[in-house]
Amino acid sequence: MSLLKAQSLVKHFPKHGGLLSREVARVHAVNGVDLEVERGESFGLVGESGCGKSTLGKVLVRLLDPTSGSLHFDGHDITRMSYRELRPFKRRMQIVFQDPYASLNPRMTVETMLAEALRFHRVVPEAQLSSRVDDLLERCGLRREVRRKYPHEFSGGQRQRLGIARALSVEPDFVLADEPVSALDVSVQAQLLNLMSDLKQDLNLTFLFISHDLKVVQHFCERVAVMYLGFIVEQLDAEDLSRDCRHPYSQALWGAIPIDNPSEREAREVLEGDVPSPLQLPSGCAFAGRCPLVADRCKQERPQLIPLKGNPRHHVACHAVEEGRD
């Protein structure tokens, strides 16, 4: 059963200009996304910078209101809920941000920061706040003694552990991890990914993991969606990402990953052209201007995300794949 379900989700940002600051255009950040995240899974969302990943994540947890479409969490329609109606669901949906230093209050000690969330959502009685803070720190690999320190006294990896501890403080069901390890060293990335994997198992958490690093997503997630210009162009099992991705954009993303052994280098398809402007979407496939398999139909008709024959878990939005031209 899906914990989070989005149907035809759209998010546009108005662009104003002129003497009266009227709306002159719209930034099409998210364009008709259908997405289901199953309870207890780690679902990856990948794509280049600016493709709409983070915007989609913020809409899914209602940090941003959708322009249109519907959004359900645990069977409840939260699309148009007011702030007061959303409050019990906000506790169950938490975020780990990309920049842990920017997301932590520099004027609060660790203890104050964690206790504030516990008090606001009334997670535990006042008498149990101190022990609860200690438990959170230990669970995230930090010593109890750090509770009186400020964020600037920690390394980047430690600050991200604090961000995870804060997200876990209110006992959520769903965690949006928005590029949580991209700003960290490789060795620290591995430690944080292992920590989140352990927490997922121990606490039965559901993750939406946003990243531009396909190898990290393949390691951490069970399923992956590939996003381009606000559209989901492919969705498949993470283990199939390296060997069976079918959309030309997905293949180009995987081919751009640096290889460990230079002697094993193979010829790669290099994408040409520029990403279309989100202010004015092309009439056909959004990827048509850069696709090596482009045909006339691609420039006129937008492909739908449909399952592959024989594999209902693998969806692709590509006319070339549908017609067997890939």
**Cα–Cα distance for residue pair 107/156, rounded to 1 Å:** 17
Give mean pLDDT, residues 121-146. Answer: 92
Confidence of residue 269 (pLDDT cuts 50, 70, 90): low
Tens digits of residue pLDDT in 178-230: 999 887 888 899 999 999 999 999 999 999 999 988 999 999 999 999 999 99
Q: What is the pTM of this model?
A: 0.92
Please check the confidence at residue 238 and state whether its pLDDT lies above 70. yes
Mean pLDDT of the residues in the chain: 91
Give mean pLDDT, residues 255-275. Answer: 71
Tens digits of residue pLDDT in 149-176: 999 999 989 999 999 999 999 999 999 9
- The contacts found for 309-312 with CB under 8 angstroms, 24 or more apart, are none
DSSP designation for 276: P
Confidence of residue 85 (pLDDT cuts 50, 70, 90): very high
How much is the pLDDT for 102?
80
Give mean pLDDT, residues 85-113. Answer: 90
Instruction: Supply angle C-alpha 79, 82, 83, rounded to 5.
Output: 115
Percentage of the chain modeled with pLDDT above 70: 97
Instruction: Supply angle C-alpha 301, 246, 34, rounded to 5.
Output: 60
Tens digits of residue pLDDT in 49-61: 889 999 999 999 9
CA distances from 142 to 15, 136, 158, 200, 257 (A): 44, 9, 8, 18, 33
Confidence of residue 267 (pLDDT cuts 50, 70, 90): low
How much is the pLDDT for 243?
87
Q: Are strands 2-17 and 174-178 parallel, antiparallel or unpaired?
A: unpaired
**Cα–Cα distance for residue pair 186/169, rounded to 1 Å:** 27
**Cα–Cα distance for residue pair 274/287, rounded to 1 Å:** 10
**Cα–Cα distance for residue pair 6/78, rounded to 1 Å:** 10
Most confident of 97-101, 108-112, 184-188, 258-262: 108-112
Q: Which of 18-27, 154-163, 252-261, 317-326 has the lowest mean pLDDT?
A: 252-261
Please check the confidence at residue 29 and state whether its pLDDT lies above 70. yes
**Cα–Cα distance for residue pair 3/282, rounded to 1 Å:** 33
